[in-house]
Amino acid sequence: MRRVREQVGDLEGPRADGGSGITVAMLDTGVAFHPDLAGRVLCFRDFTGPCRSAWAGSRDAYDDNGHGTHVAGIICGSGLLSAGKYRGLAPGVRLVVGKVLDERGDGLTEAMLRGLDWILEVRERYRIRILNISVGIGDLEDKQKELALQEKLEEIWDRGILVVCAAGNKGPGEGTVSSVGGSSSVVTVGCHDGSFKEGASWLCSNYSGRGIPGEAPRKPDLVAPGTEIVSCNSMCYRFHGNYINAYAVKSGTSMATPIVSAAAALALQKFPSMTHEECRQKLQYTATDLGLPWNQQGWGMVNVRRLLE
């Protein structure tokens, strides 16, 4: 996360209260107990229905895959077990978590739609300002379902929630942005690591979803680091007083997306009267141009320093 902070211009370093007062909703694989996330989760709901997990349908927070816990740590992990080394970008944020993917990371469109309806239902109760969707949904054969998702995202956006979605990992071909990320009512985040290991074949920029040149809406909106991000591990456990497997390494646009969500939370904390549309524009206009084609970088790399000026 130190490397990430350097790349996104967060020169002040981790702030223990960064994002305080801001609630971020997540639709993902859930969230597991982790000391770094203690006190962060305000509400949890499982929309996966019957599946192989014994926890299915539970209202107690859990994550039988690990993806969601990792994403949550990037947003608001305290870094307790790492002496702050792996602290999230906005540790003061609180989370509302909907589980829409099962233990294999698979999910149904219906689960996502139920999760989006739930966000609308509880948005005022928990004062949700941001919705993070680190889920890449490919082209749906059922175009009615795709249309239903886009309409629901538009409704959430119209209610004043900043929706931040992953571009997906189907790149680098043109037109490979996720179906959800292709909506005009979301901030779509691709993956780029700047100068980190420049030229390496395994960087996430090599498979980050890309838009179609000249096609509206132009996607992605922004990029953020997403290769080899260290964050909370859902398999963390205590053994003889010590925590084992506290952190895990993951890569992809799923990891880049919560960096932008956390940056937005920092901005909304500093400028409380800012609307979600103003926040989107400020994220875009303050980004660092990497000199890449628009369908690869959008406005550029999210820049926290400029965002908070």
pLDDT, tens digit, for every residue of 225-245? 999 999 999 999 999 989 999
Instruction: Decide which of 96 and 180 is more confident.
Output: 96
Q: How far is CA 49 from CA 61, 65, 108, 111, 256, in A?
A: 15, 15, 10, 8, 28
pLDDT at 142 > cutoff 70: no
Q: What is the pLDDT of residue 139?
A: 56
pLDDT at 58 > cutoff 80: no
Q: What is the pLDDT of residue 107?
A: 86
DSSP conformation class of 203: -
pLDDT at 10 > cutoff 90: no
- β partners of residue 128: 23
The tokens describing 60, both together, are: 């107690």
- Per-residue pLDDT band for 291 (boundaries 50, 70, 90) equals very high
- Per-residue pLDDT band for 52 (boundaries 50, 70, 90) equals very low
pLDDT at 14 > cutoff 90: no
- Active-site residue identified among 28, 36, 64, 193: 28
Contact 119, 156 (CB under 8 A): yes
Q: What is the pLDDT of residue 206?
A: 95
Spell out where 116-197 has E strands.
128-133, 162-166, 187-191
Question: Catalytic residue at 185?
Answer: no
Q: Which residue has the tokens 């904390």?
A: 269
Q: What is the pLDDT of residue 183?
A: 86
- Active-site residue identified among 10, 46, 64, 67: 67
Q: Count the neighbouring beta carbons within 10 Å of the beta carbon of residue 228.
A: 16
Lowest mean pLDDT among 175-179, 258-262, 269-273: 175-179
d(CA 120, CA 122): 6
Q: What is the pLDDT of residue 154?
A: 95
Q: What is the pLDDT of residue 241?
A: 87
pLDDT at 24 > cutoff 90: yes
| Geometric angle at alpha carbon 240, from 44 and 234, rounded to 5° | 25
For range 170-187, the mean pLDDT: 91
- In 3D space, the residue among 66, 13, 6 whose CA is nearest the CA of residue 248 turns out to be 66
What is 48-72 written as a DSSP string? --SSS-TTTT-SS---SSSHHHHHH
Q: What is the CA radius of gyration of the chain?
A: 18
Percent of the chain with pLDDT over 70: 94
Q: What is the pLDDT of residue 141?
A: 58
- Per-residue pLDDT band for 54 (boundaries 50, 70, 90) equals very low
Domains, the chain, ordered by start: 2-307 (3.40.50.200)
pLDDT at 140 > cutoff 80: no
The tokens describing 24, both together, are: 């971020």
Q: What are the φ and ψ backbone dihedral angles of 41, each rounded to 5 degrees? A: -90, 115
Q: Is 56 exposed, middle or buried (0-12, 13-18, 19+ CB in 10 A)?
A: middle
d(CA 63, CA 74): 16
Residue 236 one-letter amino acid: C
pTM as predicted: 0.94
Q: What is the pLDDT of residue 125?
A: 97
Q: What is the pLDDT of residue 7?
A: 92
Peptide bond into 172 cis (omega under 30): yes
Q: Which residue has the tokens 């998702």?
A: 149
Q: What is the pLDDT of residue 17?
A: 86
Contact 91, 19 (CB under 8 A): yes
- Per-residue pLDDT band for 147 (boundaries 50, 70, 90) equals confident
End-to-end CA distance of the chain: give it in Å, rounded: 22
Q: Which residue has the tokens 């390494």?
A: 249
Question: Catalytic residue at 28?
Answer: yes
